[in-house]
Amino acid sequence: MAKKRTREEVDPKGQGRRVVKALKEAYPEATCALVHEGPFQLLVATILSAQCTDARVNMVTPELFRRFPDARALAAADRADVEEVIRSTGFFRAKAKNIQGMAVALLADHGGEVPRDLDALTALPGVGRKTANVVLGTAFGLATGVVVDTHVKRLAYRLGLTKRRAPEQVERDLMAIVPREEWVDLSHRLIQLGRRVCLARKPRCSTCTMAAFCPRAGVTSSA
């Protein structure tokens, strides 16, 4: 039986190569779980996904986009109507304000189109670096960073890819050890692993394809 590596024994760059290879084999088709058609829908859906599951967002967005299909329609909508449609995503008042503010800014500054620029995106209401990275990577194929959600943060630490806990620090560490061309797919694949195998409370280590080289940092119980 292979000896489990300790945190101190893990070389981040070497570990990065192992993780990328294993993820490619396990989840070759992994992609963004938010159902969307085009950059605008993805941007709205990503803003709505804060403190909410992708599954819940996907239940809400068909009606939202039926009623407000583009930036112009969303910007002109009655706030109460938007809030009612997205209510089940949580924090619906703040989210309605953000997506409408974003739509207004798109019209004023970008002709209603989603910009392909990190700084321009993060200048929009409700759009942080993570949301901008999601849109740029998934909608435009631009690797501007690594999307660090709760799954990616948890798995990067457990797998020995970072010793940090803050998302922005985790992102910097991942960008330093993983080739740029892998950044977009890395997030999608780690999220799949986190949802299916490396669960937050009781990871299924016995069925994980990375068990042989995972240091299991912070794991106190597993199945």
**Per-residue pLDDT at 213:** 96
**Per-residue pLDDT at 9:** 63
The hierarchical CATH code for the domain 39-140 is 1.10.340.30
What are the residue ranges of CATH 1.10.1670.10 in the chain? 7-30+147-207
Q: Which two tokens stand for residue 130?
A: 């993570």
What are the residue ranges of CATH 1.10.340.30 in the chain? 39-140
Q: What is the set of active-site residues?
A: 130, 149
**Position of tokens 């759009």?**
127
Q: Name the stretches of the chain with pLDDT < 50.
A: 1-8
Q: Quick: pLDDT tens for 102-146.
A: 999 999 999 999 999 999 999 999 999 999 999 999 999 999 999
Q: Which two tokens stand for residue 88?
A: 């089940």
CATH number among 3.40.50.970, 3.30.1330.200, 3.40.50.460, 1.10.1670.10, domain 7-30+147-207: 1.10.1670.10
Q: What is the mean pLDDT of the chain?
A: 94
**Per-residue pLDDT at 74:** 98
- What pTM was computed for the model? 0.91
